[in-house]
Each structure stands twice: as C-alpha cells, then as structure tokens.
Amino acid sequence: MTMVNIWRGALRHAGWLLGIAVIAIVVAAVLRIGDLHAFAMMLGDARPGWLMFAVVLQATTYASVAAGWAFVLAEARQPQPFRKLYPIAVGKLFADQVIPVAGMGGNLYLVDRLTALGVHRGHAVAALLVAMIGFYAAYGVLALAMLVMVWIKGLASIWIAGFVAIFLVVATAIPGVALWIRRRGRRPFSPTFVRFAAIRTLVAIVGEAPKRLLVDRQLIMRVAAVNSLVFLADAASLTVCFLALGHPVGFAVAFVAVMTASMLATLGPIPLGLGTFEAGSTGMLTLMDIPVEAALAATLLLRVFTLWLPLLPGFVLIRSALADTSLRQRSPGR
C-alpha cells in the first residue's frame, strides 16, 4: 500500500468520524432545546405498521434506479431482466458510499456488473452516463420545485435562494463534465486537469459510450422521470415516519425537508451526508413549525431506511461481485 493510499484511507475514516460527530452534535443540540422525554416517547411508541410501509417505499427507490438503466439498455438493444438490475441498484448504494475510489466506486461497480451480465462495455457506460444526466436533471427540477414551495410558505430568503443556485450549478456541472470528456474523445488532457482521480476514471471509461444514446432526449426524459420518483419516495417515507411517530405532517412539508437535506448532503464534504442530512432536515422542519423532537426523531428514522438498513445487503452484494470479478479474471476464456 502506497503512502497516498494510506492517506486516502485515513481521510476517508476521518470523514466518517466527522460525520458521526456532527450527528451527535445535532442530536445533543436538539435534545437540549427540546424535551428528551418527548423524544424518547416518540421513538418508543413508533408504530411498526407504518415503519413497514416505509420499507416498501424505499424498495421502490431501487426499482426506479434500475428502471432507468433498463430504459437505456433496451434502447441499446441489450435488454436485461429487471430481477438482475435490481440487486445492482442496491449494491451501487454501498459502493457509492463506502468504496474509496474518488467517489467513482459505485459507477465502476455498475459498469462491471452490467458487463458481467453480457452487456457491451460501451452500452454499460452509456447506462451510467444517461442515468447520471437523468438523475441530476430530476434533482435540479425538484430543487426548483422545493424553492417554489418555500416561497409559497413565506419562508424564502436570499440565503435559501443562493443555496439552491449553488446546488444547481453543481448539478449541471457534474454531468456536464462527463459529456465534455465524451466529446473530446481521446485527445490528451492537461496534466493539471487529470491529476484528480475522479477525472482520470471518467476519462478512462466515458469515451466508450455510443453518442446516439447520450443525445437521445426522449430517453433522458424517461430516465429523469423515474429518477424523480426516488426523491418523491424519500419524501413519502419521511411522511410515513411522522405517521409512525403519531405526528402527521403534509407531504409538501416532508418534500421540502428531504430536498433541503439532500442538497446539503450533496454539497457537503462528509461521506454519506452524515450529520449534514440530519441537520438540514431537522432545521428545515423546525423552520416550518414542526416540534424539534418530532423533526429529529422522524429524520433519524428516515435515515435508518434510506442509509443504514441497505448497507448490509449492499455489503453482501459487493463481496459477491468482487468474488465473481476475481473468478472472471482468472478464467478469461470463460
């Protein structure tokens, strides 16, 4: 292991520790402001029926992601059974959050799994890129919808508008860089540009994607539509978490909180959005007159379903994928 890898690993663990510390600070601050007894009572009295419904809602988010890939592969005339794409969506979450490959772990995992299913590598890369474009397109549109809802509720401010504007720049830049790299083809890049590991990885794989799939607007719109369902399902899950706690809120309130927290987690430097998501959701909910104890309890419940529970099956899937990749490398003629 090189010194660079050692430092990267140390920084990754430091990010996890920082995120957990932020969660602890958020919880401590909220409970200091609120009522510890009320918070404990809410969690203790959570209704399991509603919690099971939240599990079902979260299962649909992976179906939505897999559906986006299915659209691209069908257009590439290399359709794959949905039952094989669904586990890849679960595994990709784990790879995105845990495998330290400059934020590209999940993308590399997706391309590897699709090629293992027999998909041409160029079409696998196209599925990745079109899904990325569709995801950020949906993300941007829903961020604007959130801003409109905040304005209608009379909570809009120059700070919130500026925050959304910064996010939209980032949401446009991420797929924009990928498409720019694709258009450049194999022409050499500046050494300063490719010193970033994530850029080097993109350069290595992006050029293989067929152009016709990347410029198919109808395909991108369909992929964006199914990706938007991920955010709506997360908002519905937060609504259900409030119902489980016996403190119902409107879907619009949950949607604003989820979008705010998601954008904050996306822009933040901490892995998995640890702490930043919890702080963003709790803060926005209290701004909308939700009691602080209920806001924190519902947010922590949501994170159990969106983050912590999927990590175990994701770990199992990643291990299985690594074993399969190792076997294929030892048996190239298989």
Residue 59 pLDDT > 50, yes or no? yes
Q: What's the pLDDT at 222?
A: 97
Give Cα 125 distance to the centre of its chain: 18
Instruction: Over range 189-209, report the average pLDDT.
Output: 58
**Whole-number Å distance between alpha carbons of 44 and 38:** 10
Tell me the range of 10-19, 98-107, 199-208 where mean pLDDT is highest: 199-208
DSSP letters spanning 26-53? HHHHHHHHS-HHHHHHHHHT--HHHHHH
Is 310:88 a contact under the CB 8 Å cutoff? no
Per the CB < 8 A criterion, the answer to whether 306 and 254 are in contact is: no
Question: Cβ–Cβ contacts within 10 Å for residue 13, how many?
Answer: 12
Q: Is the pLDDT of residue 330 over 70?
A: no
What is the three-state SS of 237-298?
A: HHHHHHHHCCCCCCHHHHHHHHHHHHHHHHHCCCHHHCCHHHHHHHHHHHHCCCCHHHHHHH
Domain that holds residue 44: 3-330
Asked if 187 contacts 95 with a C-beta cutoff of 8 angstroms, the reply is no
Residue-wise pLDDT tens digits, 270-290: 666 677 888 899 989 999 999
Handedness of CA 243, 245, 250, 256 (dihedral sign): negative
Domain count, the chain: 1
Q: pLDDT tens, 109-139?
A: 888 899 999 999 889 989 999 998 999 999 9
Taking the alpha carbons of 178, 179, 180, 186 in that order, is the dihedral positive or negative? Answer: positive
Q: Give the pLDDT confidence score for residue 102 in this predicted structure.
A: 44
Pick 7 or 192 by higher pLDDT: 192
**pLDDT digits 0-9 by tens, 225-260:** 999 999 999 999 999 999 999 889 999 999 999 999
pLDDT score of 7 more than 80: no
What's 101's DSSP letter?
Answer: S
Report d(CA 94, CA 113) in Å as an integer.
14
Read off the pLDDT of each residue in 150-174 and give the average, rounded to a whole number. Answer: 89
For residue 101, is pLDDT > 70? no
Q: Which two tokens stand for residue 207?
A: 């050029």
Least confident stretch, 24-38, 140-154, 155-169: 24-38
Q: What is the dihedral of CA 315, 316, 319, 320, to 10 degrees?
A: -150
User: Which residue, 88, 68, 77, is CA-closest to 314?
Assistant: 88
Task: Tell me the pTM.
Answer: 0.81
For residues 253 and 262, what is the distance between their CA atoms, to the nearest angstrom? 14
Residue 104 pLDDT level (bands cut at 50, 70, 90)? low
As given in the structure block, the two tokens for residue 146 are 């959130």
Per-residue pLDDT, 268: 75
Identify the residue whose tokens are 């892995």. Answer: 271
C-alpha pair distances (Å), 265 with each of 184, 247, 259: 31, 25, 10
Quickly state the pLDDT bin for 165 (edges 50, 70, 90). Answer: very high
Higher local confidence (pLDDT), 29 or 233: 233
Q: How far from the centroid of its chain's Cα atoms is residue 67's Cα?
A: 16
